[in-house]
Amino acid sequence: MGSGGGALGLSSPLFANGHLSSSSNSTSLPLPVEDGNHLAMVKPSSSIVNLPHYKWRLLVAYDGTRYAGWQFQVSPPTIQCIVEKALIQITKLERECLHFVGASRTDTGVHAWGQVAHFITPFNYDSLETIHAALNGLLPSGIRVREISAATPEFHARFSAKSKVYHYKIYNDTIMDPFQRHYVYHSVYKLNSAAMREAAKMFIRKHDFSAFVNASRNDRVPDPVKTIFRFDVIEMGPLIQLEVEGSGFLYRQVRNMVALLIQIGKEAIPTEIVPKILATLDRRELAKYALSAPPHGLCLVSVKYNQEHLLLPSDCPTTSFGRHHTITKCKLPFY
């Protein structure tokens, strides 16, 4: 499987004419390689020059409880590291050749149902069902690849994203449901959901969210101006689900917004505090009222793209959604 030998090439290769440059200087020029989501320039290996390149899109779900977030690091383990190791084992490619990138760098303990990632191979696949089954066979049970599809050269899991949707779940009752304890934050304080809903609306529109970002030593200086398209507060019995969709989010921005809404729900502070804190552009101002909400209540639900970024290349293998096992003969006796 790793060699992909004998497979027909896609009509939309990653680079012009389906190959890296074959000029006399091509082996001495550095190539951009993404380490997690950071670009680095590396000298191309002679083994990857003049090979066709094909791009593949993954839809990944994971329970983030035991992992140190998405972004690559070996210890403690991250989701990207574990999925990447499985891809290396299956494709027999080096890490720098895969160019494996995720759409969102979820933090330690945060879950995902709809993380999107892409990787590159110098060979095509006739069918994606086999590699799909192999990936899930190698991955731990808390990480699952839900879909694999071919992607166009222009698609980029992170930079093509139009918006991201996160849900934060709060169990608002005196006694916590033990079956939800790893995925839902427990608030023993009775929360005023109407006040939370009113305050959440104040985050909608384009804002500078400097007051809601935590410093991260791993990040380059981000653009603090983001657009929140919707921020809904939905009650389902004792469960309060906060659903936020935005053009992008800063480090711990969602958890910081949720933390403030919880304080407002407790009626400890008024709803009008939201625009006041936003206007300060100062994280220290938010710290006077709330700390970050715990990570286990947060889940990346989906990443949205413009339709043209989701088009499949011509003559590509069919998208794999996994396959059911079947039996041709009943092995149990009839009674």
Q: How far apart are CA 279 and CA 272, in angstroms?
A: 12
Catalytic residue, chosen from 107, 177, 219, 282, is: 107
Retrieve residue 85's tokens.
């190791």
173 as an active site residue: the answer is no
Residue in 259, 247, 166, 169 with CA at minimum distance from that of residue 212: 259
Instruction: Identify the helix (H) or strand (E) that includes residue 276.
Output: helix 273-280
Neighbours of 262 (CB within 10 A): 22
Burial class (CB in 10 A: 0-12, 13-18, 19+), 288: exposed
Instruction: Identify the helix (H) or strand (E) that includes residue 96.
Output: helix 95-98
Burial class (CB in 10 A: 0-12, 13-18, 19+), 93: buried
**Peptide bond before 76: cis, by omega within 30 degrees of 0?**
yes
- Cβ–Cβ under 8 Å, residues 51 and 19: yes
Q: How far apart are CA 281 and CA 285, in angstroms?
A: 8
For residue 335, the SS3 value is coil
Query: Catalytic amino acids?
Result: 107
